[in-house]
Structure 1
Amino acid sequence: MTKPTEILEPSKRKTYSAPALEKGLDILELLANQAEGMNISEITKTLNRSVGELFRMLVVLEQRGYVSLQLGSDRYRLTLKMFGLAHRFPPIKRLTSVSAPVLQRLSYAIEQSCHLVIYYEGKGHVVVQQDSPSERVFSVRLGAEAPLMNTCSGHLLLAFADQSTRSQMLSRIPAHHPNENGFNIDKMVRKVLGQGYESIHSAQAQGIQDIGYPIFDYQDQAVAALIVPFFEYLDASRQTSAADAHQLIQQAAQEISIALGFDAS
């Protein structure tokens, strides 16, 4: 009789092959990085497959609504069907429906863009995004990845996780993401937990101060990070200071948390 621990050990799991499925997934993953789409010749060349291998795959994916041919073109591109499926997943759907009006009010109050980031498979993912109503907008794309080690959202997700979960998160960081050996995780965690928030200069854009607060659910678990990429207006046309923005961001994070069942008392 096989022990439960043996079933869970990745090294002892059987490896299965499903060539047709793998070809379809290869196509979807490739097109996900091609905003302008690709024709079948480009797809087959990139994937090192023959037209015969992939033609039927593309036809079926088109019939099912996962890819589409651009009007008057032979280029295939990804549709929003996968995006829609992902947002039907209950936790994300609940988080989206609860947070959307709160983020809209926040962005109008501070005249800055804001977004929510959740953790999945070694990195953060932007699942809700709200642009600023201002004519000058700096925002993060919906669906963008957020590395854990050098981002405001990553610090929050790591800091508010328990030790076991944090260790697992760190072990799953993709090889191409920053994973600095000199970075003191424990120091960062103590700082963020002591403050209750994170505020750091953006590692991706100059002049941006990322301000973030955690979002909690009914189990008191940090399920997301509310982030504002805050920047100063040189012409003083915006009245909200960084200090005032902090207070409003914290209030918005608490409002979303309470709506998810968090007991803030």
Structure 2
Amino acid sequence: MTKSATQEATAKRKTYSAPALEKGLDILELLAGEADGLNISEITQRLNRSVGELFRMLVVLQQRGYVSLENGSDRYRLTLKIFGLAHRFPPVKRLTSISAPILQRLSYDIEQSCHLVIYYEGRGHVVVQQDSPSARVFSVRLGAEAPLLNTCSGHLLLSFADQNTRKQMLTRIPSQHHTDDEFDLEKVLAKVQSQGFESIQSAQAQGIQDVGYPVFDYRDQVIAALVVPFFEYFDGSRHTSIKEAHRYIKQAAMDISTSLGYEPG
């Protein structure tokens, strides 16, 4: 193909368009940045399009499960369907396949449940979960959300993110995840980063001490938080103390990290 023919082919590729697809993608990209959702009037204004142009797009996206209307609300929100599709993507799939046997071993070593949390759109999400082999189990549901501001996993994901990424993460936190409790977040995150782990009382359950360590990828960036909701029996039948559990959890986080290509300094 001659140079002029190549340039002509490139120009044609650049001018190809699929208006319906572009409208749908515009809606998804817009809603991805709106944790509280938008009503159809706000969507049309933001995209500078008419209701007639976008109404059918929204109906189809809702039918296919990509957007949803909250009960009693006219606001459209992005669902986790795209997250689910991304979960099939090799890097995420690799994370879950690598971590699953390590978490299973960890749960048997310390007789506690454990889970792995990644960041997505202003929230943490549990992507791998392993129950304790014990007859008495406390665990977090696979797919559950973890608020960033008051959870062990959230503190880890924020603490070990670079400064620019952390700022973006904070701006995407849903309004309902903000609390009236006043605390110095920067001080909390600095402490977590300094000690290399987080250990706090669970914000969701009484008597649970959440212990977590960061998981890094080959780029030396935090990719997940490994968390154990640690609890003790009154009869003392658990053989592993929380101090001993720290050693196992730290090692498990490191095993996952090195399997992902992380090279500790």
The residue aligned with 1:58 is none
The residue aligned with 1:167 is 167
Q: Deviations over 1:153-199 (max 9, x none)?
A: 00000000111111111111001112457221210121001110000
Contact map agreement 1:173 1:179 (CA 8 A) in 2: no
1:180 to 1:261, Cα distance in 2 relative to 1, 3 A: farther
Q: CA RMSD in A?
A: 3.0
Answering whether residue 59 of structure 2 is matched by residue 23 of structure 1, we say yes
Distance 2:60 2:245 in 1: 46
Indicate the SS of the match to 2:92: helix
For residue 14 of structure 1, what is the amino acid of its counterpart?
A: L
Deviation at 1:97, TM superposition (A): 0.6
Answering whether residue 231 of structure 2 is matched by residue 238 of structure 1, we say no
The residue aligned with 1:154 is 154
Contact map agreement 2:215 2:222 (CA 8 A) in 1: yes
Q: Deviations over 1:90-130 (max 9, x none)?
A: 22101101100000000011111100000111110101111
Count of residues in Structure 1 that have an aligned counterpart in Structure 2? 215
Answering whether residue 247 of structure 2 is matched by residue 247 of structure 1, we say yes
The residue aligned with 1:41 is none
Q: Deviations over 1:130-158 (max 9, x none)?
A: 11111111111111110000000000000
Contact map agreement 1:112 1:137 (CA 8 A) in 2: yes
The residue aligned with 1:145 is 145
Contact map agreement 1:26 1:47 (CA 8 A) in 2: no
Contact map agreement 1:149 1:180 (CA 8 A) in 2: no
Answering whether residue 47 of structure 2 is matched by residue 14 of structure 1, we say yes
For residue 58 of structure 2, what is the amino acid of its counterpart?
A: E
Indicate the SS of the match to 1:240: coil
Indicate the SS of the match to 1:117: strand
Distance 1:118 1:47 in 2: 29
Contact map agreement 1:112 1:228 (CA 8 A) in 2: yes
TM-score normalised by structure 2 residue count: 0.73
Distance 2:140 2:231 in 1: 13
The residue aligned with 1:192 is 192
Deviation at 1:202, TM superposition (A): 0.2
Indicate the SS of the match to 1:176: helix
Distance 1:223 1:217 in 2: 6
Deviation at 1:30, TM superposition (A): 8.5
Deviation at 1:22, TM superposition (A): 1.9
Q: What does 1:17-166 align with in structure 2 at a 5 Å threshold?
A: 18-27=54-63, 28=65, 85-166=85-166
For residue 47 of structure 2, what is the amino acid of its counterpart?
A: K
TM-score normalised by structure 1 residue count: 0.73
Percent same amino acid at aligned positions? 63
Contact map agreement 1:153 1:225 (CA 8 A) in 2: yes
Distance 2:220 2:82 in 1: 30
Q: Deviations over 1:11-69 (max 9, x none)?
A: x9735554344224435379999xxxxxxxxxxx9689xxxxxxxxxxxxxxxxxxxxx
- Greater mean alpha carbon deviation, residues 15-24 or residues 173-182: 15-24
The residue aligned with 1:219 is 219
Distance 2:254 2:242 in 1: 18
Structure 2, unpaired ranges of 5+: 1-29, 34-44, 75-80
Contact map agreement 2:139 2:229 (CA 8 A) in 1: yes
For residue 206 of structure 2, what is the amino acid of its counterpart?
A: Q
Distance 1:115 1:15 in 2: 43
Distance 1:32 1:228 in 2: 34
